[in-house]
Amino acid sequence: MTLPTLLRLALKLLFREWRSGSLTVMATALLIAITSHTTIGFFTERLSNAMEAKATHLLGADLVIKSPSAMDSTLLENYVDEQIAERANSNTPNLNIASTVEFTTVAIAGDELKLSSVKAVSNNYPLKGFMRTSLTLFGEEITTTDSPPAGELWVEHRVLSSLNIDVGDTVDIGDSSLKVSRVLTFEPDRSGAFYALAPRILMNLNDLPKAGIVQQGSRVDYRYLVEGSPANIKAYRDWIKPQLTPSQSVLDIHNERPAVSSSLVRAESYMKLAGLVAILLAAVAIAMSARLYAESHYDTSALIRCLGGRQNDVLFIFILQLAILAFFSGVIGSLLGWVSQSFIAFLIKDMLPESFPQASLTSAWTGLALSFIVLFGFSLPTLIRLRQVSPLRVLRKNLEPNSLSGAIIYLATFIFISLLIFAYTQDIKLTTASLIGGATIALFGFIIVALLFMLLNKLNQRFPLIIKSGIRNLIRRKNETRWQTLAFGITMMAMTLVVIIRSDLIDTWQSQLPEDIPNHFVMNILPGDVNAFEEFLADNNITSSDLYPVSRGRLTHINGVAVKASVTKEENGNEALNRELNLTEAKVMQKDNRLVQGEWWPNNVASSKATPAPTSPKVSIEARLAKKLNINLNDELTFFIGSRHLKANVSSIRTVKWDSFKPNFYMVFEPGSLNSYPTTNLTSFYLPEQNRNVLNAMLRQFPAITLLEVGAILEQIKSILSQVTLAVEIVLSFVLFAGFAVTFAALQSTLSQRLHEGALMRTLGASKRQIRINQWVEYAMMGSLSGLIAISGTEVVLWALYTQVFHLEFNANPLMIILLPLIGASVIGLFGVFTSRKVLNESPTLVLRDV
């Protein structure tokens, strides 16, 4: 047969097939898979673009180069110039560069002095994001993207209170006098905010030479902020990175702001996991309905062969049909995916930034490819049997084609599943683990099903008469019903797991950001002010975290070797080495820290305030830093605090939750270690927005303190998490739909047999009521058995996850043990009776004649 003929025939048959509804389950399952894939693809792409945009706002640019000295202009402007020259026809520069110079100096107003952190910025600062300023102290905040004009200063409120001046007064910075024109309340790129003790003064870069402060050898932090399209930024990063000296570094959003990115990464991997489950379930549904489809086309295949069609003609007709189905499902699924992600974006538009970038078409292409892969991968192994149908079947109806060896079908399916899991997780270990886990569950599931059926057979004598015959039906058909039960069970298990993991994930987020999470940090509380400060908090009904004594110090030696010499070159640029660290001491470890190695010092001196200084102090170090600097237990660390050295031995290594918004420390010393060193205190507290004027009083009473507001960042993170939660829930619904598709596909697989039996029963005089009761009993029993399978599988997987992966305590969930079999019984009962309604409605003569 020629190609056009085959195509025409395939189309004709497909069209009728579609109208008769025999493709519905397969096409629906495929649509669910593709819609789920593309929704997740489109949405996560947009979300991560938007998140990156937001994060760049926090960074003030797409990319920042940090350098201790002014950088050669060839590394900056020249690159931009070259780019412009290369693209002579486009006269817009593709990279914008702003620069800032940061240093610490004394600001003077009259007789008052204040050590301040000055940042001189170019006119185009900030490139991304915005600042907030007010015209009076604690006045109304105005969002701005301007920067201070020449001759003016924008200062933090602490500068005003410490220098005892107001907006409009003049402050001397080095040799120049500049006018304070605004109060600075928020600047985008203040990433080291928690450690910046000196208050901020923002000035114009053009005023810097006049001030005459920055000279050769001054400790100055130069930052170059770069903005451009993602491709240009990437090109620039790749170009500049090899040219940087060890003391220069590139910052981008991936090494800043871990709190946002780790939550997003978790949400994204959850969505991908849920998406994978949806696709795998859909694939199972496709495989099941493909088998049914193949079986119902043995006659067609035999007849075409009988009329002289070749084996490959027959196969080709069905492959064409699959290809057409895959193409349309891929296109429609991608469209639905586009619509549903737009819908998600619409639902949560209040939480999204004003310009929520559109997604590229990448997900549509992968969706189309996935459509072909899933459909062919899971239906071809069974459809290939159509090629083997003997033409003799036209004369002898009972001739079944020689099955392709079962091993080959299972192997092919197994390979496709492995490839799918790998494509989604990009992780060989995870793929292997889930394959072995899945196979084990399937094997044990089958054994349990077999045992349950045996048990049911034994017990059936004791059941009441009315349900006996339904259960007998179930057992009599056990070759099919055992598989169905297992399929329902595993489907229910997958759905339950996805639901439980979702709840755990959202709980984690919510517990991470409770309503009263500290939104203010206070540092520099002088030891003499501690009691007064605590009283002030109590008077204003503010609950704070513990007060931590803090000394500022630098890590200088590891086991007597100078740090700079003992660490690798790359680590020479490590933040922890290049700046002073906040060193603290504590009796007990912070609750969310976790010991990795060593032991915490015994907490035997329960409440005595003054702990004597230990002769050989111990220190606990944060795990990531320890690994980077290659510090091990019992190493001797030397710190330089003020003008003196402190030696301490590493007694433990612990992990820290940096995203907890509580005070966190790299180094925690044994109590008493810092007794003879200058310390100030640090704490954090929650203050509702409407009580902000308390801060005014606080600053007046304790002018020395450093107050940091992190409410804006918190709000941002909260809004991100609620967006992500909603997205997660929508993805979850795909898993549920896919689960239903599997259920329908499985139920349909025995439908024709049931139709025939039902017709016979009715011919022999069974009432509709009797048949309906039998159906309910049979399906509900099958559903509750699969609920049992699901609950045992779920508990085993959760146990493994909690004890082996997360190292948490595992508690069995007794409610689910009752709930799942009940849900199984009602859902499978309902679906089963619904799909089998034809058994009751179709005329028996019609059914019997058909066979």
Partner 1 sequence: MSNLALSIQALHKSVELNQQTIEILSNISLSIAEGDSVAIVGSSGSGKSTLLGLMAGLDNTTSGAVTLMGNNLTEMSEDQRAKVRAEHVGFVFQSFQLLPNLSAAENVMLPMEVLNQKNAQNRAAAMLERVGLSHRLTHYPNQLSGGEQQRVALARAFVTQPDILFADEPTGNLDTKTGNHIADLLFELNKEVNTTLILVTHDEHLAKRCQCTIRLEAGALVTAS
Residue 299 binds partner 1, judged by CB under 8 A: yes
Which residue in the set 7, 11, 13, 547 belongs to the binding site for partner 1 (CB under 8 A)? 13
Please say which residue, 390 or 733, places its beta carbon nearer to partner 1.
390
Q: Which segment (59-67, 251-259, 392-400, 423-431) binds partner 1 by CB under 8 A?
A: 392-400
Residue 304 binds partner 1, judged by CB under 8 A: yes
- In a 13 Å sphere around the CA of 225, the CA atoms on its Cβ side amount to 21
Residue 391 binds partner 1, judged by CB under 8 A: yes
Please say which residue, 207 or 313, places its beta carbon nearer to partner 1.
313
Residue 401 binds partner 1, judged by CB under 8 A: no
Chain residues 232-251 in contact with partner 1, contact rule CB under 8 A: none
Residue 390 binds partner 1, judged by CB under 8 A: yes
Which residue in the set 251, 335, 351, 394 belongs to the binding site for partner 1 (CB under 8 A)? 394
Please say which residue, 5 or 691, places its beta carbon nearer to partner 1.
5
Please say which residue, 2 or 355, places its beta carbon nearer to partner 1.
2
Q: Which residues of 605-625 are buried (b: 16+ CB within 10 A; e: fewer)?
A: eeeeeeeeeeeebbbbbbbeb
Which residue in the set 48, 134, 176, 300 belongs to the binding site for partner 1 (CB under 8 A)? 300
- Percent helix, strand and coil across the chain, each to the nearest 5: 55, 15, 25
Among 732, 572, 563, smallest CA distance to 245 is for: 572
The least distance separating partner 1 from the CB of residue 384, rounded to whole angstroms, comes to: 15
CB-CB neighbours of 290 under 10 Å: 24
Q: Which segment (143-151, 287-295, 388-396, 709-717) binds partner 1 by CB under 8 A?
A: 388-396
Q: What's 246's DSSP letter? A: T
Distance CA 600, CA 534 (A): 28
Q: Are 471 and 523 in contact (CB under 8 A)?
A: no
Among 669, 665, 638, smallest CA distance to 651 is for: 669
Is the N-terminal amide bond of 126 cis, ω within 30° of 0?
yes
Distance CA 668, CA 620 (A): 5
Distance CA 164, CA 113 (A): 10
Which residue in the set 228, 309, 401, 518 belongs to the binding site for partner 1 (CB under 8 A)? 309
- In a 13 Å sphere around the CA of 167, the CA atoms on its Cβ side amount to 15
In 544-617 the beta strands, taken as DSSP E runs, fall at 548-558, 561-562, 581-585, 594-598
Residue 311 binds partner 1, judged by CB under 8 A: yes
Among 625, 49, 582, 647, smallest CA distance to 358 is for: 49
CB-CB neighbours of 691 under 10 Å: 11
Please say which residue, 392 or 466, places its beta carbon nearer to partner 1.
392
Residue 12 binds partner 1, judged by CB under 8 A: yes
**C-alpha 262: how far from its chain's center?**
7
Q: Are 817 and 794 in contact (CB under 8 A)?
A: no
Residue 303 binds partner 1, judged by CB under 8 A: yes
Please say which residue, 201 or 314, places its beta carbon nearer to partner 1.
314
The least distance separating partner 1 from the CB of residue 282, rounded to whole angstroms, comes to: 25
Residue 310 binds partner 1, judged by CB under 8 A: yes
Please say which residue, 308 or 464, places its beta carbon nearer to partner 1.
308
Residue 109 binds partner 1, judged by CB under 8 A: no
Q: Which segment (12-20, 230-238, 368-376, 643-651) binds partner 1 by CB under 8 A?
A: 12-20
Residue 675 binds partner 1, judged by CB under 8 A: no
Among 546, 544, 550, smallest CA distance to 527 is for: 550
Residue 752 binds partner 1, judged by CB under 8 A: no
Q: Which segment (1-9, 30-38, 195-203, 774-782) binds partner 1 by CB under 8 A?
A: 1-9
The least distance separating partner 1 from the CB of residue 324, rounded to whole angstroms, comes to: 15
Residue 700 binds partner 1, judged by CB under 8 A: no
**φ and ψ at 461, to 5 degrees?**
-60, -30
Please say which residue, 241 or 397, places its beta carbon nearer to partner 1.
397
Please say which residue, 19 or 609, places its beta carbon nearer to partner 1.
19
Residue 819 binds partner 1, judged by CB under 8 A: no
Distance CA 623, CA 666 (A): 8
Residue 5 binds partner 1, judged by CB under 8 A: yes
The least distance separating partner 1 from the CB of residue 757, rounded to whole angstroms, comes to: 22
Q: Are 144 and 131 in contact (CB under 8 A)?
A: yes
Please say which residue, 241 or 310, places its beta carbon nearer to partner 1.
310
Please say which residue, 13 or 499, places its beta carbon nearer to partner 1.
13
Query: Which amino acid type is present at position 115?
Result: L
Binding mask 341-380 for partner 1 (x = CB under 8 A): ----------------------------------------
The least distance separating partner 1 from the CB of residue 263, rounded to whole angstroms, comes to: 53
Q: Which segment (32-40, 173-181, 393-401, 557-565) binds partner 1 by CB under 8 A?
A: 393-401
Residue 841 binds partner 1, judged by CB under 8 A: no
Q: Which segment (48-56, 297-305, 681-689, 830-838) binds partner 1 by CB under 8 A?
A: 297-305
Residue 396 binds partner 1, judged by CB under 8 A: yes
Q: Residue 426: left (phi > 0), alpha (psi -120 to 50), or beta?
A: left
SS3 91: coil
Helix H or strand E encompassing 350: none
Query: Which amino acid type is present at position 832?
Result: G
Q: How many residues bind partner 1 (CB under 8 A)?
A: 30
SS3 117: strand
Distance CA 100, CA 77 (A): 15
Please say which residue, 272 or 387, places its beta carbon nearer to partner 1.
387
Among 776, 785, 773, 823, smallest CA distance to 456 is for: 785
CB-CB neighbours of 646 under 10 Å: 21
The least distance separating partner 1 from the CB of residue 297, rounded to whole angstroms, comes to: 9
Strands 152-155 and 63-67: unpaired
Please say which residue, 84 or 751, places its beta carbon nearer to partner 1.
751
Distance CA 306, CA 128 (A): 72
What residues make contact with partner 1 under the rule CB under 8 A?
Answer: 1-2, 5, 8-9, 12-13, 16-17, 20, 299-300, 303-313, 390-392, 394-397
